[in-house]
Amino acid sequence: MKNKLFTTLLLIFIGFGIHAQNFGEAEPIYTLNGFAGGSYFGLSKSFDISSAYGEFGLQASGQKGNARFVSDLRVRSGSFFGEPKTILQLKEAFAEYRGNYFDISLGKIIVKYGKATSFNPTDNVCPKDYFFLSADIEDMQMSNFMLKTNIKPANWLNIELLAIPFFTPSIYRYELFDMNIMEGVDVRFDQYELPEVGFENMSFSARIGAEFSFADISLTGFHGYDPFYGFKVKDFNLAPPMSISLVNQAEFYKKNSLGLNLSVPAGSWLITGEAALNHTENYKDSVFIPNPDIYYVAGIEKDIWGIKIIGEYIGRYVFDFEKATAPSLPQNFADPLQLGNYANQMIAYEIGKFNQKIFNQYYQINHAAMVTFHKDFFYETLSGDLSLYYNFTTEEKLLRAAVKWKLSDELAISGGGQFMDGPKETIYDFAGSIMSGMFLSMKYSF
């Protein structure tokens, strides 16, 4: 704990101890912009209207000399999965000092790592709201409160250090899934409990990035709680003859991750690579902790006939792999002891299998691919996107198509749809009934 405290104080000392050249006598520069509009997502198997809401966003920033601030406030009101809500979200808000060789920022900041476009193995810092269904995938991105420093000893080199004092998880809505896959089994999800706020539960991240004419290369390191998480069985009740009520609860885990990002232009081609080696502890004794693994993405990008085409291979290798196995049936169903033991073993098997699936560790090696197409029309007033994903190991699939029409510089209409599916009891099978559907949005920006 003392080492972490010392590191944090050292970053602050460096930030304010380095000579600030001059905060400047120039007039401050302020910008104020935003948007208002509406969004609809629906026609899924489970919901005719998954979400329908009006949204107002206001972004303000200002700079004078080396001092700067950024803020982004969103307000949404409507229906979300059948529940009427008004949501106030402070998406970003931070103050910053910028120098020639050193920057320091404090507040709610969005940090994204990775060169890949679809899946990012090194993007461990900020959570996402995966069930915020809209026309813009970037709406899923969430911020974290952090102290961020950038040291720039040369114009081609940047060292970024992050200290995150408390944990914010990603948002999943597994309680919306139809998880009652076995007759007589009622599966529910309970509210999670966040780790206590303190130095022992802080997260830290570092990134060293180098930009050359022939390549962009970065190394990343992360220690702390993963925004992703697994589940444990909080409670279950067994009633004869075989009726089970099962309550799952999200549980969080720490990991150490070492990553590499690479981007290399090769003529008219762009080659990208991204990989992360993830290390966890106590995974054999805790069903909600994934095994150590290596997660990697390799991609190529090229413009052909005015169409930007990005192809990516996504892979994962799981260390110390053991597949969850179903228990044997009891010899005597009339024996309460044998029946109780079987129920306990079956519950452990089901939750273990479920965690392996959400961690993409149900198989030791996982292979998937994604292809994305983008095309602009009519002087970029109309654009189209198409993404296709297929997991060769699990046979899960995703298709997403979107069209955006800019009626003017201020007004844009977006529409499209997405389809998710997979074999029975896969994650895309569960999610497909919620997250497959059509979307439409209209936004006025100012």
Q: What is the pLDDT of residue 175?
A: 83
Mean pLDDT across the chain: 89
Q: Find out whether 355 and 344 touch, Cβ atoms under 8 Å.
A: no
Distance CA 403, CA 219 (A): 36
Is the model's pLDDT at 183 over the cut of 70? Answer: no
Note if the bond before 241 is cis, omega within 30 degrees.
yes
Average pLDDT, integer, range 342-366: 87
Lowest mean pLDDT of 38-52, 248-262, 323-337, 408-422, name the range. Answer: 323-337
What digits encode the pLDDT tens for the residues 192-248?
889 999 999 999 999 999 999 999 999 999 999 999 999 988 877 765 555 667 788
The two structure tokens encoding residue 334: 């009339």
- Alpha carbon separation from 307 to 301, 414, 416 (Å, rounded): 10, 19, 19
Taking the model in full, what pTM does it have? 0.87
Q: What is the pLDDT of residue 316?
A: 98
What digits encode the pLDDT tens for the residues 430-446?
899 999 999 999 999 99
Q: What is the pLDDT of residue 333?
A: 63
What single-letter DSSP state applies at residue 362? S
Q: What is the pLDDT of residue 22?
A: 53
Question: Domain containing 193 — which CATH number?
Answer: 2.40.160.10
Q: Find out whether 46 and 433 touch, Cβ atoms under 8 Å.
A: yes
Q: Which of 317, 295, 310, 272 is nearest to 388 (CA)?
A: 310
Q: What is the pLDDT of residue 178?
A: 75
If pLDDT is split at 50, 70 and 90, which confidence band does 9 have?
Answer: very low
The two structure tokens encoding residue 339: 């029946």
Number of domains into which the chain is organized: 1
Distance CA 290, CA 356 (A): 7
**Bigger pLDDT: 252 vs 239:** 252
Q: What is the pLDDT of residue 185?
A: 65
What digits encode the pLDDT tens for the residues 131-176?
998 888 889 999 999 999 999 999 999 999 999 999 999 999 888 8
Would you give the end-to-end CA distance of the chain in angstroms?
47
Distance CA 437, CA 435 (A): 6
| DSSP-assigned states of every residue in 38-55 | EEEEE--SS-SEEEEEEE
Average pLDDT, integer, range 248-265: 94
CA angle, residues 440, 442, 445, in degrees to nearest 5: 145
The two structure tokens encoding residue 265: 């232009």
Average pLDDT, integer, range 277-290: 94
Q: What percent of the chain stands above pLDDT 90?
A: 71
Is the model's pLDDT at 352 over the cut of 90? Answer: no
Is the model's pLDDT at 4 over the cut of 60? Answer: no
If you count them, how many residues does the chain have?
Answer: 446
Q: What percent of the chain stands above pLDDT 70?
A: 89
Containing structural domain, residue 175: 2-22+29-445
